[in-house]
Amino acid sequence: MVQSCAEASPAKWHLAHTAWFFESFILREFLPGYRLFNEDFSWLFNSYYQSFAAFPEKRLRSSFSRPALDEILRYRKHVDEGVQRLLADLQSSDSGHEALQRIELGVNHEEQHQELLLTDMLHAFFTNPLRPAYRPPTAGPADATPGIPGLALESRGSTNHESSGSVPSLDFHSFPGGLRKAGHSGDEFCFDNELPRHQVWLEPFCLAGRLVTCGEFAAFIADGGYMRPELWLSAGWDAVRANSWRAPLYWIETDRGWRIFTLRGELSIGQLEHAPVSHVSYFEADAYARWSGNRLPTEFEWEAVAEGQAIGGNLLDSGELMPIPAPAPVQNQCPAKQWFGDCWEWTASAYLGYPGFQPLGGSLGEYNGKFMSGQMVLRGGSCVTPAAHIRASYRNFFPPETRWQFSGIRLAS
């Protein structure tokens, strides 16, 4: 039931809401004779679909002491059985294309909440005075802070995460401009905000070969980055002062230096020096880019390069559950790394509809389109994004002050 900030939701609510989605938009419409598990759930577990039903204020979800967890698990079982009956009916009929599309949307919606559940738990554990770890750290380097195990993870062929390890230098790679296509192509699933595929014009540009690291961001802090208004957008400087920002979210200043809280517990910055900096807002990403003499990429620059890269990297499936250092370059492959996984990458692009954008019909039209104001686009997925969920055309979006997501920085020039 823990809800540690207004942006997050309790784990129990995630379990109920994902079942609610299948019940509300699929079973009620496509399964004849379907019986609602509980009529109150239709509004209680609605998230933001104004045209579907009223709903409680989001920040009050932690007060849902009833229904109890056992009843929510029965609710999920009831809905799952309904979806199985519907799938069996569709297999024996020539119709049902719309129902199958809705089911696929529901699966992708649940994958989004798998990611949100982990980001919400990280924030909940951070606000707990005991600072519990979601997963224990593995055996660490010799220079780990006493009493805090280090981290030596071995996925994707990387070396362990010691401060003495190496990381590719922050090189920039040139890409040609010209007329390019952006947006989803092909027949596989995508969200409505990835369509239609359309043409964009790009001037020649450069992108950094990897994400900005914790060590590099620490240099920005040491140089007074959070105290220099000339580096910040006006709204960003207001956010710095209003929220007393002095470092990214989950950074803890101690007499032993910065420490960073992760799903694997609290670690020293020395252990994470070469890992990508995470949990920064768009405002912080933009200020760092300005401090470094660079800028953030547009979403179309990012997509133009990422579209040719295979899906892979430090995603949820790796089991890391935190950003890790970039792998060494591989001969005959694109020298730029970390396109997918580790951190969602802030772009300089406002979240808007593409030319000719058409939202889904009915209440589902509120899924993405209603948020096309005051938000910025992020690309690439994070260390808690399911690998099957991400693609080059995927557009995530959050308000520019958001920090509780695994969001990081790739520089452009």
Residue 156 binned pLDDT confidence (cut-offs 50, 70, 90):
very low
CA distances from 79 to 40, 48, 100, 241 (A): 15, 20, 16, 47
| DSSP H or E segment with residue 117 | helix 97-127
3-class state of residue 75 by DSSP: helix
Rounded Cα gap, residues 217 and 213, in angstroms = 6
Residue whose pair of structure tokens reads 């071995």 in the numeric block: 154
Supply the mean pLDDT for the chain: 90
Per the confidence metrics, is the pTM higher than 0.95? no
277, two tokens = 């900096």
- The answer on pLDDT for 107 being more than 60 is yes
The reported pLDDT for the residue numbered 96 is 85
The 10s digit of each residue's pLDDT in 7-43 is 999 999 999 999 999 999 999 999 999 999 999 999 9
Q: Which conformational region is residue 279 in: left (phi greater than 0), alpha (psi within -120 to 50 degrees), or beta?
A: left
- The answer on pLDDT for 364 being more than 50 is yes
The 10s digit of each residue's pLDDT in 199-247 is 999 999 999 999 999 999 999 999 999 999 999 999 999 999 999 999 9
Angle at 388 between CA 106 and CA 283, to 5 degrees: 90
3-class state of residue 254 by DSSP: strand
- The answer on pLDDT for 139 being more than 60 is no
> Average pLDDT of 246-265?
96
Torsion of CA 69, 74, 76, 79, to 10 degrees: -150
- The answer on pLDDT for 148 being more than 90 is no
Residue 95 binned pLDDT confidence (cut-offs 50, 70, 90):
low
| DSSP H or E segment with residue 11 | helix 11-22
CATH of 155-408, one of 3.90.1580.10, 3.10.180.10, 1.10.630.10, 2.60.120.260: 3.90.1580.10
- pLDDT over 90, % of the chain: 80
The reported pLDDT for the residue numbered 330 is 63
349, two tokens = 């692009």
Domain boundaries, the chain: 11-127, 155-408
- pLDDT: is 399 or 137 the higher one? 399
